[in-house]
Amino acid sequence: MYMNKKLLLYLLSLTGVFISSCDYFDHRIEIINLSNYNIVLETYSDSVVDTNENNLTEYYYANIIEVGQKTNLTQSGTNGWPFYIRRSKNQMLNICVFNFDSLKKYQTINFLVKHKIYKQYSFSEREMVKRNWVIEFH
């Protein structure tokens, strides 16, 4: 019985070391805002931008990318971004960039999408690898 407890504690400690050494998020995409205005952006699994109840204005207000700022996009999984691209409908990373001033003016991403007040970009996995997973917006 004592040996079983000792073995169990040993296995649990090994599991803790293994889990703490794993990174379950992929932060490889770096966004650089080289435009002359603050931006917010969203990724989509299709080239058609959707409007839905998940487009919460508060989220975008909290995730402004200011002029000259760099930020990283996060996807779950150790190979989250390649997997995300492969499972998208067009096998591309689809990004919509919104001018933050437009969001402030019209109050919702859905309005901007409906009236096509955004810039849209699509990148293949190969393009992203070639860019070293860095996207500069001008």
pLDDT digits (tens, 9 = 90+) for 63-115: 999 999 999 999 999 899 999 999 999 999 999 999 999 999 999 999 999 99
The residue-averaged pLDDT of 103-131 equals: 95
Collapsed DSSP state (helix, strand, coil) of residue 53? coil
The ranges assigned to domains in the chain are 26-137
The two beta strands, 134-137 and 93-99, are: unpaired
pTM of the prediction?
0.79
